């Protein structure tokens, strides 16, 4: 059985964000915090100042963008309201991210070297036998990792602003500055002091409910609801999860995604998600908790979290001198639900484009310059998103298909190809003979799952 610590629970506050957004304050005088009359023209040299860039949102996407901009010579403002934010998130990061983004081991709670894939019938397949002794999946708490990334950006010259972004009137399609309106909470104000920041470029990294995206008419996307409980379990139970993560599939835990048990520093994160039946998310979470109950027996729920997760990139991710990155752009993969690495990577790539096109902040840039980032991103990752979309549609559509999926995960070649692609974010060339065998096994598994699905519908025992 589980108990709930209500003093530390934050139930679904972000879940309702799409329906309940704070209105603009009209009772205060707007303060201007940078000089007036900034004139912009793409390619024009900046003789008396550096290019000014506002990054909205201080998660991995925003923090990595701000760090790159500051190092590249741009005057950078990183605006984030919740400096102690603990976004609902599984917290898994690939091995390549540790080196690529120079992450210290102190922010990694657990190094997962083993995984269990658990089918609807509770068949468990051990995954991870192809990993060497230096390979692992990092498990982090977002409040720890995000804080580290923001502080590093600040140490490199970014101006960290405790503020809530409100709106921009013109996304920089004209030659004037972009006027960023936000509420400043630096002086411990409960309601915030309305201020305006004049900048040349804006990078929107403000998550799935992005206000920046709304300001540039980026278009809607379908989204999943992720629901997660952090559960403090007895030490003996925690020992079982010290280097192990579990993934559960089945109609009971999600009709179109998976449930998880991921180990953290001193607790486990138990959660699930869905796109097609968001109103039943608590029902799926209850089922997920029940399936993991024996291994988490005696646990105490210390935090409840919920958050929307984008399901595909937004139709418009650049407009004028505004670019979207991370969840705001819709960069979460289907099938796996991975978003942290792609958030950090997109933030860095957008910032690199700004730095390069502005010649280290010495000249103005325009929409064409920002689209350099977009073109590079789509060329590099379009295939990844498409393949994972197809896999989700094929293997998450029914319980028989999920059984086939788990059955395939027992294959050592499948594990090697999957982990190599995930850990290093590269498509590893396969062995033609093994690829042919894999194709044959996949077809056979799908045929079997289809037969089982038809038999279950007609009431025939398979």
- Identify the three-state secondary structure at position 455: helix
Alpha-carbon distances, residue 140 vs 102, 110, 129 (angstroms): 15, 7, 22
CA dist 216 and 70 (Å) reads: 25
Decide whether 47-109+139-221+312-393 matches 222-310 in CATH topology. Answer: no
Residue 228's pLDDT band (boundaries 50, 70, 90)? Answer: very high
The mean pLDDT of 59-88, rounded to a whole number, is 92
Element housing 275 (H / E): none
The mean pLDDT of 443-452, rounded to a whole number, is 68
Lookup: tokens for 393: 């549609």
The mean pLDDT of 261-285, rounded to a whole number, is 95
Q: Which residue has the higher pLDDT, 194 or 19?
A: 194
CATH code assigned to 47-109+139-221+312-393 = 3.50.50.60
> Of 368, 319, 322, 320, which Cα lies nearest the Cα of 53?
322
Per-residue confidence (pLDDT) for residue 20, from 0 to 100: 41
- The string of DSSP letters for 355-394 reads HHHTTTTTB---HHHHHHHHHHHHHHHHHHHHHHHHHHHH
Per-residue confidence (pLDDT) for residue 389, from 0 to 100: 87
CA dist 176 and 363 (Å) reads: 15
Q: Cite the beta strand spans of 128-217 per DSSP E.
A: 137-139, 159-168, 178-184, 193-199, 201-204
Q: Which CATH class is domain 222-310?
A: alpha beta
Per-residue confidence (pLDDT) for residue 90, from 0 to 100: 82
> Of 62, 219, 218, 279, which Cα lies nearest the Cα of 150?
62
CA dist 309 and 339 (Å) reads: 9
Per-residue confidence (pLDDT) for residue 28, from 0 to 100: 39
Per-residue confidence (pLDDT) for residue 27, from 0 to 100: 37
CA dist 423 and 412 (Å) reads: 16
Q: Are strands 52-56 and 201-204 parallel, antiparallel or unpaired?
A: parallel
Per-residue confidence (pLDDT) for residue 450, from 0 to 100: 67
> Of 185, 264, 192, 182, which Cα lies nearest the Cα of 229?
264
CA dist 226 and 402 (Å) reads: 20
Lookup: tokens for 31: 């303060």
Mean pLDDT of the chain: 87
The alpha carbon of 96 is separated from its chain's Cα centroid by a whole number of angstroms, namely 16
Residue 430's pLDDT band (boundaries 50, 70, 90)? Answer: low
Of 34-38, 373-377, 407-411, 449-453, least confident by mean pLDDT is: 34-38
The mean pLDDT of 132-150, rounded to a whole number, is 94
Residue 432's pLDDT band (boundaries 50, 70, 90)? Answer: confident
The mean pLDDT of 119-137, rounded to a whole number, is 94
Residue 199's pLDDT band (boundaries 50, 70, 90)? Answer: very high
CA dist 172 and 314 (Å) reads: 19
The mean pLDDT of 131-157, rounded to a whole number, is 95
Alpha-carbon distances, residue 340 vs 63, 140, 156, 345, 435 (angstroms): 12, 10, 22, 9, 30
**Chain position carrying tokens 């509420």:** 183
Q: Are 50 and 196 in contact (CB under 8 A)?
A: no
Asked if the model's pLDDT at residue 232 lies above 70, the reply is yes
Q: Domain segments of the chain: what residues?
A: 47-109+139-221+312-393, 222-310, 394-456
The mean pLDDT of 115-142, rounded to a whole number, is 94
> Of 148, 110, 114, which Cα lies nearest the Cα of 265?
110
Per-residue confidence (pLDDT) for residue 421, from 0 to 100: 86
């Amino acid at each position: 059985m589980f108990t709930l610590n209500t003093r530390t629970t934050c139930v679904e506050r972000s879940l309702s964000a799409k329906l309940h957004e704070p209105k603009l304050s009209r009772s205060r005088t707007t303060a201007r915090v940078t000089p007036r009359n900034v004139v912009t023209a793409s390619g024009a040299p900046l003789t008396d100042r550096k290019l000014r860039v506002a990054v909205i949102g201080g998660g991995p996407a925003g923090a990595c963008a701000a760090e790159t901009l500051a190092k590249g010579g741009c005057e950078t403002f990183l605006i984030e309201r919740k400096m102690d934010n603990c976004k609902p998130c599984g917290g898994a990061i690939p091995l390549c991210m540790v080196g690529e983004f120079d992450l210290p081991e102190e922010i990694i709670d657990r190094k997962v070297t083993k995984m269990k894939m658990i089918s609807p019938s509770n068949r468990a397949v051990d995954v991870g036998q192809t990993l060497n002794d230096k390979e692992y999946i990092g498990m982090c708490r977002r409040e720890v990792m995000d804080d580290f990334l923001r502080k590093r950006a600040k140490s490199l010259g970014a101006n960290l602003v405790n503020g809530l972004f409100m709106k921009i009137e013109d996304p920089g399609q004209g030659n004037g500055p972009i006027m960023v309106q936000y509420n400043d909470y630096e002086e411990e104000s409960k309601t915030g002091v309305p201020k305006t920041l004049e900048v040349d470029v804006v990078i929107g990294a403000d998550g799935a409910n992005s206000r920046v995206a709304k300001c540039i008419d980026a278009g809607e996307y379908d989204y999943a609801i992720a629901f997660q409980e952090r559960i403090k379990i007895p030490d003996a139970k925690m020992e079982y999860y010290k280097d192990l993560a579990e993934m559960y599939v089945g109609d009971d835990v999600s009709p179109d995604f998976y449930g998880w048990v991921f180990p953290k520093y001193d607790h486990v994160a138990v959660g699930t998600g869905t796109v097609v039946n968001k109103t039943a998310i608590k029902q799926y979470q209850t089922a997920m908790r029940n399936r993991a109950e024996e291994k988490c027996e005696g646990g105490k729920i210390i935090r409840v979290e919920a958050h929307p997760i984008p399901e595909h990139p937004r139709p418009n991710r650049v407009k004028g001198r505004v670019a979207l990155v991370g969840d705001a752009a819709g960069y979460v993969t289907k099938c796996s639900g991975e978003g942290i690495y792609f958030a950090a990577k997109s933030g860095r790539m957008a910032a690199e484009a700004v730095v390069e096109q502005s010649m280290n902040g010495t000249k103005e840039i325009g929409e064409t310059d920002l689209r350099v980032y977009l073109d590079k991103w789509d060329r590099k990752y379009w295939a990844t998103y498409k393949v994972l979309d197809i896999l989700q549609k094929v293997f998450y559509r029914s319980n028989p298909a999920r059984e086939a999926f788990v059955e395939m995960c027992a294959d050592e070649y499948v594990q090697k190809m999957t982990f190599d692609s995930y850990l290093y974010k590269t498509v590893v060339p396969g062995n033609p003979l093994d690829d042919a065998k894999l194709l044959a096994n996949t077809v056979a598994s799908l045929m079997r799952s289809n037969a089982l699905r038809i038999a279950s519908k007609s009431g025939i025992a398979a």
